[in-house]
Structure 1
């Protein structure tokens, strides 16, 4: 070890730091230097020593001590553990387990864009690491390709929980300073706003795009251009495979409240088969090279281990990482040195409720409550209600319904401050008038009121005035909140059918990723798989008891629910449907769910009933009981 001692002395390093024996220099960064070290138990460690100039700053020491305590709280399969630290040493230091693997950037440079299944495996590791970090009350704040190492058994997220000093400045952080890597900053971080864990989710989306394409989603010709792209432009996802785009695109939403949580992302990825070699061969070759280089250093070979061989660049990046406790209002806030790291006292705010006059908002509306003072004749599923008004007047409300085509309108009007279209119809038996206002977020959907009377004898003008008045009442009841369903989520009426099955969940069932998703009503969704094959989920509401046709077929049990399975071999060959009663009893209003699978028009026969049951296995647990 004499040669090693001489080498470290020549470089200004001690041969021992605490109980750790330094073996080789991995590099230097803005915060200090990092060395490969041997722990007392023989394990290899990445040991970081703080620059002396920073060590003389009392404020830095306090924050460094605070962050060391926070770092110890993060543990998981995809984060390297902190082995030891001494924030009170003349040169404060921290040792974490050494990871012999290239950075994500080095892996992509060596192997090119990673295959789809490899990126999904990478996503699971990164999402799990973020969940561990956020659970400990931290935000990473600098999730970038050089802070992700690819070990032989999976990825590792490094450099969390350690405060950073600005290059050439002993001040740890400054209010309003932008800290992080421009290509992977969240928009709120780029604008110096207060961060939430959703900021890390945005950065994760950028990493998945890089891994799948070899290019970051917001790269510009300069740092200011890149920051502008992050804040104002949509990501470049043209080359991202559909399955990866399905994961990455929601993460890159500008609004933090619209980004998925780590648990939602894990659900979207789904189960993965274990693999002894998770990376391409070129990446495993880099891992082997780093393992051999570290082994030589452990045997006493002196000298600096090149960053290209051991991934020093990634370790040194730890010198320029920022994390902040969720409970802190600014990065400068820190508790006294002896105080425990505080946990957040309040949960993150829930996402804002949907706008009342939107498709999502109307799922929270009871259509039979939008018109007061009228007798309810019958409920028309989840999206409508029929009333009786003034003897023979019939009033129907649709929430939502199909708007009146502009070319077919007989009148334009303003109803409750919104533009409305009116259409009058009359025949020998019945007069009718319909008034609609298009939903602001979806002009293809509308709120409508129909007024009809059998003996009106051409009095459509009177009916249209009534229709416009009642449409105004309906708008005010919906926007004012008086027509909302109870807060308890016990009805299928609030459920978005398109949220019950992800594209990635459908892929293994049908052997291919769905090509499109379409919602023909607010309570149905159809996934088009390939060559006319499709799977549809429909949520219905009936006032009447079930008829014989609805209960025909084989009785099976799915998720504790009795379902009827039948094939339409006569009218639609090989189409299979599952239908079950979700709420209600015979003779009472009933909420019914159904799944229908249609096979491809050509090709080998498929067991559509098996596919329908597999879809039901995903859907049933997500429905309110």
Structure 2
């Protein structure tokens, strides 16, 4: 991201501008903040397009239709003005790299990640096509990767620009030649099948690192798209089975997005679908955004309302927590010299309710659902995390039971379930039914049902039935987990006074899910209790440095990264209790700084000191 240039406007419409994100063939993208605190990608279309007599009307029409597009895998249009001197539109900001940036930085994605990418792209196209749009420019730069899946951006805008007399006179080709469909390259009318061809080309890029049609020049790429067949021999078989039919030259022979989801079959539910290097790249991008938002404004005028804007980066309707400060420079790890305001805390006396956080932490989720009425006996297949277990039904359907995981509550209000407010999130590929944890409305008890089963079951019916049985069994008293750390409240492991002595004034203490706690300081301190593989020293070149540190006789592993001169993070991870099958219970302490003068060594020293303070409160292994 780059700072705004001298003389550039500080505001477009209702959106206060913070930085320049990038520039493409259609316009310039800026990071903006709405009056309600949401971050937005504000695209100002190049002034040249505004001279075309028909452009503004096409732009207005396409934006209106684009507003009808919704879904988990698109960045929704928030606002637009086709009549402004420089037309613009604002869409939900996604703090993640593009697919092209990801492949360039980390290399091709493994087959499992490409299948999740395919499912997300197909689901996005279902929503786009349902609104009556054809994307027309589905390329690696228009697919962003967020922590929980891909996001498709700029849908409908390519069509608004088409027809410009300026473009016709200059001979510019609209779209990206290596990812166009043959009919688009030939100038024929486009149907939704054109986007499916582009999807197939994207899958090849993701799996191999190169486009299947890229030539030495744009015309050569167009020729390849129309006349040559791609070499798919080196694609993983599970990726080729999906990509190859999408790349049929005849549009009528390509699958629809819904059929692509059927080709993919059941995908195991995952919270983080990408390889670790990709998630690290996403975290870096989020830290960059956090640093921009946290900086003091350089223009005259009111300060940005960070209470609203700095708490979240909104990505396709999903709120991703970001570490931000009040915008004041000079946060240090030294004790505060003045009395800090009392922190806002979510901790309280133990809650005896079986659906409250204290009881739910200690439940063995893979023992909660031995069966569901109408479905039959369930088989627990995957139970890595404290907060989830994935079951398989006799019909081959996947049911993911998640209690107090890192995903915030969502869905549409759908009445009640056993006296609790019920939410249903019906989406392509599955359906989630959830109810809130008692006293924690931001945390849910939920079941996600996949849509792939034989005979096909209605996923929302399956999810609701499984959730009903879950609530019943939890209230009756479910088996306790054998894990040592699972029942522990992470917010109770270190007192506020200790955190304040190490990191400065604490303004808020807030749990995330049931196994993670955040202390808002001059940045953020996070303590997470996890089940996973035993930690080792990272060899990932993404980090500035890695190593070990002694925590009073226990070896911990740290990673350190400086995102920009004022922001960075240091993680400290150690194994608390070994488990069978090469797993362990681990503790992770993260110190993220923002708009801070702390050095890298000081940041890691603060993380180490918090880790040492956490250890005495942990139960014996």
TM-score of the two chains, using structure 2 as the length reference: 0.46
Larger Rg over CA atoms: 1
